[in-house]
Amino acid sequence: MAFTLQIGQKAPDFNLPGVEGKDCSLASFKDAKLLVVVFSCNHCPYVVGSEERMKQFFADYSPKGVAMVAINSNETVDHPGDSFDSMKSRAKEKGKQTSCLNNLRQMGLALFLYADDNQDRLPPPEFDPDRILGSQPWRGYLLFWDPPPKTGQPANPKFAVNLGLLYVGNYLRTPGIFYCPSLKHKKDLLIVFEKKYFESAKVPWPMYAIDGQVNTTYTYFPQTDVPAKLPSEANRGWTQVAAKQTQLSSQRTMMTDLIYTWGTLAHTSGKNPYGLNVLWGDGHINFCTTRAAFDPKLWGGTGGNPISNVTPGDNTPGWRTIVSLLRP
């Protein structure tokens, strides 16, 4: 029987199985300053359409002590897609995306703190064609870089680059934040990104793995909204790199999920990428699905291994075009 609670009335208790394998009740949230209860389901287009707003709400208010729980109030006879097993499957993937977005949020806050302590300057990006002649996009995923190969050795803090400066500078000391939980690439790839490759039973993270490198699953490329210096590049929508926080733009990316090859995209649906998690210059984050940015021709095919001067990580024009097409 449907009923409506009055403002100020005590919430009725519940005890329901949760998608994480534990039962959930009001007592589960006893330490929260405020609990938001959302009645939800898997199939409703209104629910699906509001998911991103709910995720953003939680990301904004959870640091202030607000908790949120979603209860599936639907039946499964007419809507089998709302079954508990379907809920667990959907929650698993959505949870990975949310975790990834939270990673970007924490890195964004750490970048702003770094800039505040360094006269507005951001960590110098290793991929900056105007500052470093010949630099390529793949340098944007480096955390430590100390060539020649030193596989299996602890990373030297003196060789921290990009977001690695947040780690050695004590702005961000949790290694897992540098890695998207959804990126699970094939074992035979030439270049690896998952955290497990940069640690061992004897050497904790960060450990050199490839050519004296420690990689992340995100790409650091802070942009301004100032057109590129060369007219031929400006005409393609490319912009200049930001050296300072005050040069960043809300319409341009500061950091994204890894843009390297099609096969190393973290969030995919079947064979087709359906978006990238993006940290924009004003610090807000979202899941960007600008269709033009996912033209397979820009990605040099759908494989996982890099192809020199073809796949984005080794093809500056293709990479910069992809990034220039992304919009909030």
Q: What is the pLDDT of residues 263-318, one digit of tens each?
A: 888 877 655 567 899 999 999 998 888 889 998 889 998 888 889 899 999 999 99
Average pLDDT value over all residues in the chain: 87
Q: Residue 52: in which H helix or E strand, if any?
A: helix 45-61
Cα Dmax for the chain:
70
Phi, psi of 169 (to 5 degrees): -90, 5
d(CA 286, CA 280): 8
Contacts 24+ apart (CB under 8 A), 26-29: 28/69, 29/67, 29/69
* Residues in contact with 247: Cβ distance below 8 Å, sequence separation at least 6, in sequence order: 222, 224, 226
Least confident of 43-52, 132-141, 289-298: 43-52
Query: 268, 322 in Cβ contact below 8 A?
Result: no
Query: 314, 134 in Cβ contact below 8 A?
Result: no
Place of tokens 């540098």: 178
Q: Residue 64: helix, strand or coil by DSSP?
A: helix
Q: What is the mean pLDDT of residues 182-198?
A: 85
Phi, psi of 246 (to 5 degrees): -70, -10
Q: Which two tokens stand for residue 269?
A: 């649906």
More confident residue, 300 or 77: 300
> In terms of Cα–Cα distance, which of 111, 146, 59, 116 is closest to 221?
111
* Residues in contact with 53: Cβ distance below 8 Å, sequence separation at least 6, in sequence order: none
> In terms of Cα–Cα distance, which of 250, 263, 264 is closest to 217?
264
Residue 78: which pLDDT band, with cuts at 50, 70 and 90?
A: confident
Q: What is the pLDDT of residue 314?
A: 93
Q: How many other CB atoms are there within 10 angstroms of residue 4's CB atom?
A: 5
Does the structure show a pLDDT above 70 at 328?
yes
Residue 79: which pLDDT band, with cuts at 50, 70 and 90?
A: confident
Residue 91: which pLDDT band, with cuts at 50, 70 and 90?
A: low
The 10 Å CB-count burial string (b at 16+, else e) for 108-139 is bebbeebbeeeeeebbebbbbbeeeeebbbbb
* CA dist list (Å): 152 to 113, 138, 149, 223, 283: 32, 21, 9, 34, 35
Q: What is the mean pLDDT of residues 228-256?
A: 96
Residue 23: which pLDDT band, with cuts at 50, 70 and 90?
A: confident
Least confident of 28-32, 51-55, 88-92: 88-92
Q: What is the pLDDT of residue 289?
A: 86
> In terms of Cα–Cα distance, which of 215, 326, 222, 216 is closest to 276?
326
Residue 95: which pLDDT band, with cuts at 50, 70 and 90?
A: low
Q: What is the pLDDT of residue 96?
A: 54
Q: Which two tokens stand for residue 300?
A: 């040099």
Whole-prediction pTM: 0.74
Least confident of 118-122, 145-149, 156-160: 145-149
Query: 24, 16 in Cβ contact below 8 A?
Result: yes
Least confident of 17-26, 79-88, 172-181, 256-265: 79-88
Strand stretches in the chain, DSSP E: 15-17, 23-25, 34-40, 66-72, 142-145, 213-215, 218-220, 223-227, 239-241, 253-257, 268-269, 272-273, 276-280, 285-288
